[in-house]
Structure 1
Amino acid sequence: MEVRVQEIIDHLTAHVKLQDNTVDQLISGSMVQLVSGVVVAFMPTQQVIERAVQQGANLIIAHEPPFYNHHSHTDWLTEDPVYQTKRNLIDEAGIAIYRCHDTIHQVQPDGITEGLVQALGWTSFLEQRKSEADILSFDSGMTVRQIAEHIKHTLQIEYVRVAGNLEMTCQRAAVLVGFRGNGNLTIPLLHNERLNLIIAGEGFEWETPEYIRDAVQQGRQQALIMIGHAESESSGMKLLAMKLDQAYPELPVTFVGEQPVYNVL
């Protein structure tokens, strides 16, 4: 059975209503293009695109854009050699890239948060799903150190960043993926949901971390674990790849991960 890019995009967006200013779009390729294979990734890096070419896949579904800005603008990059090399590879290989950002966050439950909570084995701890976070209740309690080590081991990442007392016992936590770790989201959650711990992808360093610093200095039992943007969202895209593989058994669908962008020295 022949499958075109448009059909897969329609499948992805069937149960959401995207706003006019959505960043979800076909960044390269054509809607009528026949799909030979699908690569799903958090970020369509140079290596991910090369892997797609090697596998004979001509559709990449990525959570983030290929060209280093949220709205996929490229007018400021036209003379840049890194952009030119990547753009040429995409065009010469006939790769269609679809950005699936707003869609996967708008499905119920949020597909990215669901993927992370499942990957961490914490579904049984889930108490409440909110639009921006999952609220978890650790009945027996775990220390911040134990939670941080579990995240590192399960996601196979080298490090996380922690603010607060590592030996504090945590009963209630919120999981916020991606760039949701800023104070306007985390601080009300800490208060309204009576949380000990925020687990987030990333956020401004002078907001939530500084709030946690003040809270600890006031004697409050609160902490923060920042695990990284890609590290918090890749599991959701891996879950999406599994769902697409089930929906399109006639197509090879592969999740392609990347190494963390930073080295720790």
Structure 2
Amino acid sequence: MTIQEIVDKILAYHPDIGDRRTCDVIVGADPNRECTGILISIAPTVPIIRKAIEIGANFIFVHEPTFFSGYDDECEWLEGNDVYEEKLALLVDNGITVYRDHDHIHAHRPDGIFHYMMKHLGWLEYLKPQARGWEVVLPPTRLGDLIAHVKERMGLEHIRYIGDPDAIVS
């Protein structure tokens, strides 16, 4: 199966968002090649690209942009920028294609990213029935307990916060 065929299947899964411009684009090598492996990441950082090279994956599926702007297909202004050119060359020279799935996954109701985060945090039951976004009503809890829960569920070592950890929040 080619990378483009995989992207087409992903797009077929998403709701139709019409002809509006999106930031969901393909960057790097030709997507009409056979897929040798898929690496999924939030962002296509250089370490992620190097990991794809190491494991032999030629398709990186991400949510955030490859370069410095929301639109990876408008990078003319970066021509001559060493960081941009080296990162693009790392992709092309190693036959790696990046597909950004941002606007389409956010078009789901509930939002695809939001739904996964709420599920991962164990908070689906706290979504308001009419919610179409970030409306979550948690039972009253200590801020410190909430922080500990998020750290554990998300695998984080640290979270910055402002407030009294003994304060009750909901």
Q: Which residue of 1 aligns with 2:149?
A: 150
- The alignment covers a number of residue pairs equal to 167
CA separation of 1:29 and 1:16: change in aligned 2, threshold 3 A: farther
Q: Which residue of 1 aligns with 2:158?
A: 159
CA deviation vs aligned residue, 1:66-87 (integer Å, no higher than 9, x gap) = 1111112322222222222211
Q: Which residue of 2 aligns with 1:96?
A: 97
Note the 1:1-265 alignment, pairs <5 A.
3-14=1-12, 15-18=14-17, 19-72=19-72, 73-128=74-129, 130-138=131-139, 141-171=140-170
The 2-side partners of 1:126 and 1:98 are apart by 30
Contact 1:37 1:57 in 2 (8 A): yes
The 2-side partners of 1:95 and 1:130 are apart by 38
Write out the 4+ residue segments of structure 1 that deviate beyond 6 Å after TM superposition. Answer: none
The 1-side partners of 2:106 and 2:31 are apart by 22
Contact 2:61 2:98 in 1 (8 A): yes
* Structure 2 unaligned blocks of 5 or more: none
Question: Which SS does the other structure have where 2:141 is aligned?
Answer: strand
The 2-side partners of 1:78 and 1:20 are apart by 26
The 1-side partners of 2:22 and 2:15 are apart by 12
Contact 1:27 1:98 in 2 (8 A): yes
Instruction: State the Cα RMSD in Å.
Output: 1.9
Corresponding letter in the other structure for 2:159: V
The 2-side partners of 1:23 and 1:170 are apart by 36
Contact 1:127 1:137 in 2 (8 A): no
The 1-side partners of 2:71 and 2:130 are apart by 28
The 2-side partners of 1:28 and 1:86 are apart by 9
CA separation of 1:83 and 1:129: change in aligned 2, threshold 3 A: farther
Contact 2:30 2:95 in 1 (8 A): no
Normalising by structure 1, we get a TM-score of: 0.58
Seq. identity, %:
29
Contact 1:36 1:56 in 2 (8 A): yes
> Post-superposition shift, 1:165?
4.0
Larger strand fraction of residues: 1
> Post-superposition shift, 1:130?
3.0
Q: Which residue of 2 aligns with 1:249?
A: none
Normalising by structure 2, we get a TM-score of: 0.87
CA deviation vs aligned residue, 1:3-41 (integer Å, no higher than 9, x gap) = 112221122121322342111111223342211111111
The 1-side partners of 2:123 and 2:168 are apart by 17
